[in-house]
Every structure is written in C-alpha cells, then in structure tokens.
Amino acid sequence: MRLIAIVRFRSVTEESLVRVCRELVDAGLPGVEVTLTTPFALNAIEALGGRVGAGSVRTVEDARRAQEAGAAFLVTPVVRPEVLQAARVPVVCGALTPTEIDAAWVAGAAYVKVFPSPGPSYVRDVLAPLPEVPLVPTGGVRLESIVDYAAAGAAGVGVGSALVTEDLTELRKRAKAFRREAESAWH
C-alpha cells in the first residue's frame, strides 16, 4: 500500500465513477479507495469485484455494507474500535495525534492513516517513539512530496485531488507519474 488513490467526488455518474476506478486499478496503483461519501460508491466497489477499498467508513453499518459490496480494505477517517472489530479485511485507520495513532494500532489497524498530515517531519517525529506503526499520511500529499514522506519513514501515502480526476486522459498521465514516483521513493 505504498500509494492509495482516494476517489472522492461530490457529484458523479455511476458509469464515470466505475471508469475512473477501473483506470486507476488498470494503471497498477496498489490501492484505490472509493469514499462512501461519493455517490454510487458501493455500486463501484461491487462492480470492481474486490479490486478496490471503501473509504470514509465511520460505523459498523458502513463496514458491513462495504464488505458485502466486496471492498478489499476499509479506510476510516477516525479511530473507531468497533469498526476495526467488525472488519474482515485490512483497515487503514485514520488518526492524527500520537495517542490516536497508538490506539488505532493497538486496536488492530493494518496501517494508520495520518490525517490530515502535517507533513513529513511530523511523520518522522511520530515514528521516533512508535517505529513499528506503518503510517500512511493523507491530505495535501503532492507528487513532489512523496519522496520526502518515504524518507521520513512513511509506509505509503494517500493521494486524492492531486491524482484523481474524471478526465481519463489526465488521470492516466497522473496515475503513471504517481506510481512511478512511489515505486522510486520506496525502492
């Protein structure tokens, strides 16, 4: 999970959402997260048959519905132990403070999403006392910051608007650049 593409649209057709997700998967991105706040999210997850995860999972009901649709993994914006307990797939659990990060890890998160990420130096500082926790910063991650996050010790990054667009030509170009940068940064 060196690179998670975060698919979040306020308004989108089901067909367009499935096309965007399929393009990201076909581009070889290791993680594609479709946020449940996006219209038709569960339909897209189901259409892609276990090849994408569900994001913005906040309740046990969200976790149940996403898993029934075939989500390969779940992403939460906050620490909710009951969601981690309900999960039958890996969870990338959102947290910010060292206390929240540790709580997410202890509760069984596969990765801890540092959200919103204050930057690479914060990741480095948190990993000093918590070196075993695989951190995945999200929020404001750009192509040019990937190498800095990798150098700081992040396990990967989550990227939304800097990567994901409905323009398929631009999406292919961005996906290729982000995948290449992530592969190089964690090589």
Would you name the residues annotated as active-site residues?
33, 113
User: How far is residue 122 CA from its own chain's centroid?
Assistant: 19
On whether the CB atoms of residues 101 and 112 are closer than 8 A, the answer is yes
Q: Do residues 34 and 164 lie in contact, with contact meaning Cβ atoms separated by under 8 Å?
A: no
Cα 165 to Cα 6, 62, 69, 160: the distances in Å are 10, 25, 23, 9
Residue 137 gets the label, from left (phi > 0), alpha (psi -120 to 50) or beta, of: beta
E strand or H helix at 93: strand 91-95
- Please say whether the beta carbons of 22 and 46 come within 8 A: no
- Packed helices 14-26 and 168-185: angle between N→C axes, nearest 10 degrees: 30
